[in-house]
Structure 1
Amino acid sequence: MVFQLCREPNEFLKILPLDWQEFLEPFWDEIKPYTACYVMVDAGQILAGGLVFYKCPPDMLYAKSEANKWLELGYKYLGFIFVKEAFRNRNLGSLWLKNLKATFPEQKFWLTIEDFKLDGFYTKNNFKLVKKLNNEGEEEGLYVYEG
């Protein structure tokens, strides 16, 4: 299994849930210049991946000032982290994060989650909940990784 920069991010986007694809599609050409896609590949197949944003991502426009604060502090935003359903429960999400951190050992990251069932996964991977945000009446957790 190989962790790599995805040269064709559209290939990663195709494995995402349809609602994520539909959300990203209108923004993709605009965000592509400041977004990197990293994937886990085995036998030429993308099994997992995620996006690293260097500017405010489209899913954080509701809290743009909060997003810009973290970005200005040097954190990169992680979003749309996904493992294909057939490959879940094999630690691929953790492996993806471990490889990303090893690729950028001095880099700090932040992300948000809507599904608090994922709290255990992110805390296990050394992310800390630092605050809760309100997204149109829905609570989201903002997590940071500081190395």
Structure 2
Amino acid sequence: MAEESPKPIAEIIDISDAPELFFEMLPDDWKLELESNWEEFRLSVKLYGIKLNEELIGGGLVFSAHTSETDSYPPIAEYYFDNGYLYIGYLWIAENFRGRNLGDLWLKSIFEMYPNNPFWLSIEDAGLAKFYLKNGFTLEREVIFSGGRDWIYVRKSASELI
């Protein structure tokens, strides 16, 4: 009987010092946004990639302070950052790797890296709500602003969840 080859294991790695590895896989609008703001962002962000079989196949950013990314709702951002929340942005999985729970793995790893921090994020696409709800986020509020509409989701810290 032939042995099954081991299932490849994805790992989460800090690529904050090599952001271009992540940028090159993104849709053009995200890539442009990140490249043009990286000098500002890099002072208050960590970039974590998802590596599978030596290939970077996704990742996301964890912000620790208010930046232009959260300029659509400054009072909300200030409240969350002042209360120890970290902001999750630009979570992306390459299309041919979607449906394998890699986004779930990325979030779980981030929660484990920062167990004492609650998290918040905003989404523009209501279709993403189900993904974040299943990962422990709750809808906090809807924000309507000149640029459109976002939904703010929060997740309590590990100690608050117990």
Q: TM > 0.5 between the two? A: yes
Alignment CA distance shift 1:45-1:73 (3 Å): same
Whether the 8 Å contact between 2:143 and 2:150 is mirrored in structure 1 is yes
Aligned residues: 147
Question: What residue identity is the alignment partner of 1:94?
Answer: D
Which consecutive segments of 4 or more residues in structure 1 shift more than 6 A?
Answer: none
Question: What residue identity is the alignment partner of 2:11?
Answer: V
> Could you give the per-residue CA deviations for residues 80-118 of structure 1, whole angstroms, max 9, x where no partner exists?
000000100110101100111111112111000010111
Counterpart Cα distance in 2 of 1:14 and 1:137: 26
Structure 1 window deviating more from structure 2 (71-80 vs 9-18): it is: 9-18
Counterpart Cα distance in 1 of 2:12 and 2:38: 22
The match for 1:95 is: 105
- What are the ranges of 5 or more consecutive residues in structure 2 without an aligned counterpart? 1-9, 158-162
The match for 1:116 is: 126
User: Which structure has greater strand proportion?
Assistant: 1
The match for 1:75 is: 85
Give the superposition deviation at 1:137.
Answer: 5.4
Give the superposition deviation at 1:27.
Answer: 1.2
Q: Which has the larger radius of gyration?
A: 2
Secondary structure at the aligned position of 2:104 is classed as helix
Secondary structure at the aligned position of 2:71 is classed as helix
What percent of counterpart residues are identical? Answer: 33
The match for 1:36 is: 46
Paired residues for 1:133-144 under 5 Å: 133-136=143-146, 138-144=148-154
Question: Which TM-score applies when normalising by structure 2?
Answer: 0.86
Question: Which TM-score applies when normalising by structure 1?
Answer: 0.94
Counterpart Cα distance in 2 of 1:137 and 1:15: 25
Q: CA RMSD in A?
A: 1.2
Give the superposition deviation at 1:135.
Answer: 3.1
